[in-house]
Amino acid sequence: MATTVNSGNVPVSDTQSSTSADPRYEGSTFQYSMLLEHLIGEKRPIKDLNPTVMGGLPNPMKTDDQKMIERGMESCAFKAVLACVGGFVLGGAFGVFTAGIDTNVGFDPKDPMRTPTAREVLKDMGQRGMSYAKNFAVIGAMFSCTECIIESHRGKSDWKNAVYSGCVTGGAIGFRAGAKAGVLGCGGFAAFSAAIEYYLR
């Protein structure tokens, strides 16, 4: 027995079949699906997020000179030179600081009872500062250059680059004293680089 709607005698099944067969109903469904495709589907247009449209400041186009400068600053050579200069300054300051707190600065081993002059103390502090500055500059340049090369080769910027670079740098420095020292230097620098990356990230 067919079910009636309200007080009419038209069955529900007949109403549904007439509605589905209505071309106006099919046309509205098609238009609705097309609208969804253009709003949230694959046909949705991708808009450029221009800062001027969003109410922000306009972003001027970069000139060729600016692009060349950016490429130069992102190069491995520039990073190595910058790390070398920074390491030289940091090493020199560290060397002067350690010489300042060392009580044996300026003393002559042949005559330990003689009190050193201020000139001798400053000379010893300068020599130690220069020695530390050279070592830190070499380590900084090697580490920065190898890290940049490894990052360019891998195409990723993560903590592994610093670990690999630390191993290469420590190994290269330690191998001057033998294979065992090279392996220890590789492991030590890699562990130190991993700790620094974990702290910074």
The DSSP-derived string for 95-159 is HHHHHHH-TTTT-BTTBTTSPPPHHHHHHHHHHHHHHHHHHHHHHHHHHHHHHHHHHHHHT--SH
Give per-residue burial for 80-113: e unless 16+ CB within 10 Å, then b: beebbeebbeebbebbbeebeeeeebbbeeeeee
Which pLDDT score, from 0 to 100, does residue 85 have?
95
Nearest to 123 by CA among 136, 137, 135, 105: 105
Structure tokens at 17: 């079949």
Amino acid (one-letter) located at 200: L
Which pLDDT score, from 0 to 100, does residue 53 have?
53
pTM above 0.85, yes or no: no
- Averages of pLDDT over each 10 residues, the chain, 201 residues: 44 47 60 73 65 58 81 88 94 90 76 78 89 94 92 87 92 89 92 88 71
Return the domain boundaries, the chain: 66-102+116-156, 158-200
Let me know if 199 is exposed, middle or buried by CB neighbors in 10 A (0-12, 13-18, 19+).
Answer: exposed
Which pLDDT score, from 0 to 100, does residue 48 have?
58
CA distance 172 to 153: 20
Which pLDDT score, from 0 to 100, does residue 131 have?
93
Interval 137-188: pLDDT, tens: 999 999 999 999 999 888 888 888 999 999 999 999 888 888 899 999 999 9
For residues 34, 36, 37, 38, the Cα torsion angle rounded to the nearest 10 degrees is 90
Give per-residue burial for 173-189: e unless 16+ CB within 10 Å, then b: bbeeeeeeebeebbeeb
